[in-house]
Structure 1
Amino acid sequence: MANYHLLGLGLAGLIAASGMTCLTSSRELAAAQLADGTIAFEYPPRLSEATATRNQAGARHVRYYFTLNLNPSAGESLRWVSLQLAEGRDPMFRFDAEATQAFEGTRRERNSRLTLGEVTQDRDTQTVTVVFDPPVPPGRQVTIALEPHRNPRRGGVYLFGVIAAPDGEQVRQEFAGYGRLHFYDHDSDPIR
């Protein structure tokens, strides 16, 4: 089983340790298996949407949804995803790992539920890692539903860095994008 505990490095450390670069052009990896045996996506998953059911700071009974698109030509199945609170730190911010779900489709157009393996949380780095068991084949749209104990206590923009990895022992982790959630203080009115 791959080492999912590199997440203690933080998002920047994870990117540097993996030798990964953030791709901004249409040029992607050329092969599913690199010369050193590392398994990589030919076309990495991309984060397409991040939403919250409630956007009031401190609100309870809320879910966050992160939707990833797996390219049909990805070349490899999706094994795990990590989501790290990269901006907008709240030391009390944590998730209920047992309530985590994943399914094919989007928040509003759900299809079959996906089976999850291990779901872990590192409170120091504010990272949640979701392992798919079995891995999700290319060509799918996957949504991960996280349940925080509550929204962050302070309003503002919170960015979640999303990293995806293929199935295998030695894998190249890929940055899938930032999920942006905006929370408003109790006395704020986003309509004004």
Structure 2
Amino acid sequence: MLKNVFVSSALTISTLSIGINSLVLKPSRAVELTDGRRAFESSLNLTRAAANFNSRNNSAARYQFTIEVPEDAGEALKSVKITQKENSDTVIFKTDKSKASLGSSLSGDNIPLAAVGGESQPGETTVVFDTPVEPGNTVTISVKPKQNPSVDGVYLFGIAAYPNGENSPGLYLGSGRIHITE
């Protein structure tokens, strides 16, 4: 009787292992909406927001935003929109100074940008990758303000990610915080 329980348990574990491996090996697919647009299957993660210089009015400052595109995202990351939340001072981005690289810092492989700016307004910019960032990768985007705000405080930047495809809905990832000091 005990021997049969062991064999039965071994078969169950073996079956579960095969089932799990089958799930892991299947490629993930993006969500297709009823109107044909595509959306991410799983949320991307805003993991870091930082400024290299935090002092007021500093014209050498760069803001970096790091985003993880998980394996199960189902769709590649095509563009990112950065929008400053209302505050006492508004940042104006120098779109020609934006860059991106693979990894959690700018020391990774450079990612060419197809466009930067779009229909930008003060406090807003959109970065479009020439080649979309595939699931399983991390990307760091660096944007350059004309200068840091003249008023110290915490500045919030809403980050929205967009998958490959026409008029695809964005996915709001949250707000990155940049602290400006005296």
- Of 123, 129, 132, which aligns to 2:129? 132
Match of 2:41 in 1: 42
> 1:71-127 deviations in whole A, cap 9, x for unaligned?
111110111100000132424x2111111000011227x321101011016235x21
1:111 aligns with 2:112: no
Cα-Cα RMSD: 1.7
Per the normalisation by structure 1, the TM-score is 0.75
% identical aligned pairs: 37
Q: How far, CA to CA, are the matches of 2:167 and 2:158 in structure 1?
A: 21
Query: TM-score, normalised to structure 2's length?
Result: 0.79
Q: CA–CA distance in 2 between the matches of 1:73 and 1:50?
A: 23
Counterparts of 1:153 and 1:182, CA distance in 2: 12
Q: Distance in 1 between matches of 2:87 and 2:181?
A: 13
Deviations 1:29-59 (A, max 9, x none): x952123312000013221100000111111
Residue 79 of structure 2 aligns to a residue in which SS? strand
- Amino acid in the other structure paired with 1:171: S
Partner of 2:147: 150
Say if 2:165 is the partner of 1:168. Answer: yes
More helix per residue: 2
- Superposition map of 1:49-68 within 5 A: 49-68=48-67
d(CA) in 2 for partners of 1:165, 1:151: 27
The residue that corresponds to 1:6 in the other structure is none
* Aligned residue type for 1:168: G
Query: Does the aligned pair in 1 maintain the 2:88–2:151 contact within 8 Å?
Result: no
